Amino acid sequence: MSKLECQLGKLLLKNPVTVASGTFGSGKEFKDFYDLSLLGGIMVKGTTPEKRVGNKPQRLVETSGGVINSIGLANGGIDDFIFNILPEAKTYGTEIIVNISGGCIEEYGIMAHKLDLEGVGAVEVNISCPNVKEGGITFGTDPEMAYDVTKIVKANTSKPVIMKLSPNVTNIAIMAKAVESGGADIISMINTLIGMSIDVEKRKPIINNVIGGYSGPPIKPVALRMVYEVYKAVNIPIIGMGGIMNTTDALEFLMAGASAISVGTGNFVDPYIPINIIKGLEEYVEKNGLLSYKEIIGAVHR
Partner 1 sequence: MIYKCDGIVIDNEPLIKDFIYLMKIKETKIAEYAKPGQFLEIKTGTLPLLRKPISIFAVDKVEGTISILYQVKGQGTKNLSQFKIGQSIDLMGPLGNGFAVEKFNKKCLLIGGGIGVAPLYDLGLRLKEVGNEVEFILGFSSKETSYAIEYFKELGPVKIATIDGSVGVKGTVGAILEDYDLTDISKAYGCGPEPMLKYLKTIEDEVDLELSLEAYMGCGLGACLSCVCKMNDGDYKRVCKEGPVFKAKEVSFDE
Ligand X SMILES: Cc1cc2nc3c(=O)[nH]c(=O)nc-3n(C[C@H](O)[C@H](O)[C@H](O)COP(=O)(O)O)c2cc1C
**Binding residue (CB under 6 A) for ligand X from 109, 205, 216, 280:** 216
Catalytic residue among 129, 169, 176, 256: 129
Restricting to residues 9-68, name those near partner 1 by CB under 8 A: 22-25, 29-30, 32-33, 45, 53-54, 57-62, 65-67
CB under 8 A: which stretch of 6-14, 51-59, 166-174, 233-241 binds its own copies? Answer: 166-174
Find the shortest distance in angstroms from Cβ 93 to its own copies: 30
Per partner kind, with CB cut-offs from 5 to 8 A, the member of its own copies, ligand X, partner 1, none near residue 205 is its own copies
Q: Is 205 a binder of ligand X (CB under 6 A)?
A: no
Active site residue 129: yes
Contact between 239 and 189 (Cβ < 8 Å) = yes
Mark residues 225-264: x for contact with partner 1 by CB under 8 A, - for none. ----------------------------------------
Q: Which residues bind partner 1 (CB under 8 A)?
A: 22-25, 29-30, 32-33, 45, 53-54, 57-62, 65-67, 69, 71, 74, 216-217, 265, 267-272
